[in-house]
Amino acid sequence: MLIDKAGDRKNIAYLFLFACVCVVMAVVAWPADATYEPKDKYEDLWSHYQHYETAILPAKVFPYMECFRQSSRRHKVPLTLLLAVARGESDFNPHSVSSANCCGIMQIKWPITATELGFKSREELFTPRRNIDAGAHYLRKMLDLHQGNYYMALAAYNQGPGRIPQSLPVEKLPQAAVDYNGYIYHHLQYVLGSKTVVQPSAVYVSEWKLPVIKFEAKFRAEGFIQYFKNRTPAVRLEWFRDSWGNSQIVMLYKNSKELDQGVRLMKKYGFTVNPDKKYK
């Protein structure tokens, strides 16, 4: 777990309590040999999405929507799946670059994956239309490799087909790949929203983000968000991965009034946030 230096003793005490709660939950709810959570949890959730939810329209009009629609049709990958991957990978930032040199909206790795997908230079990856289409193409290849299994295809998208070959049994999936499935599924729920069948009119806006805390383990990030959601739903916490793969919890806000309110409410429930910290 990575703790901001600005955190005071109250934060440390809270985190200790939070860690204890996580341990108790793990002992009570999961088998003794489970490191984080049952590995088949997201396999079942992705299977349900594949069979019942791929035709549902996105809850918002997301950035570069027409590019996503065209690539969805061209490569026969569900639109909401592409949007979930894009939000999780870069939050639709065409200039995003990870520590592993993955670039653009869909985080295409340079040079290995990018050259395989036809890119001649790293700079080409920062063109939204091309990057989105390349991501859809690559995800289609992973789906074909794993006979349409969304769970395994997403693992291969994240880890590469060399680490997630067709012959790999589902139960042997690395924990990092399991976590990635959960992470993208989290963003899929945002994309689907209330699962409306009516064409939405709300436009997605990438809001200001205030860094709150980082976790290495995905389930702790989910637990942290749920803890505050249950106590103060006015605080809008979201979860993104940083360039090193850690789970970065951020507070979303539209203006200084909402920022001040969120900081105040989090402090009321035991966690102090530095309002001047910048999101990278």
Residue positions annotated with a catalytic role: 89
Greatest Cα-to-Cα distance within the chain, rounded to the nearest angstrom: 54
Residue 280 CB neighbours (<10 A): 8
The answer to whether 129 and 64 are in contact (CB under 8 A) is yes
What is the rounded CA–CA span in Å between residue 220 and residue 249? 10
Q: Name 221's Cβ contacts closer than 8 Å, sequence gap at least 6.
A: 215, 239, 247, 249
Q: Name 72's Cβ contacts closer than 8 Å, sequence gap at least 6.
A: 78, 79, 82, 136
- DSSP code for 57: P
What is the rounded CA–CA span in Å between residue 150 and residue 48? 10
Q: Please list the alpha-helical segments (H only) found in 91-127.
A: 112-116
Cα torsion 159, 106, 139, 177: sign: positive
Q: What values do phi and psi take at 254, rounded to 5? A: -100, -25
| Among 163, 182, 183, 186, CA closest to 173 | 163
Token couple for 203: 């436009």
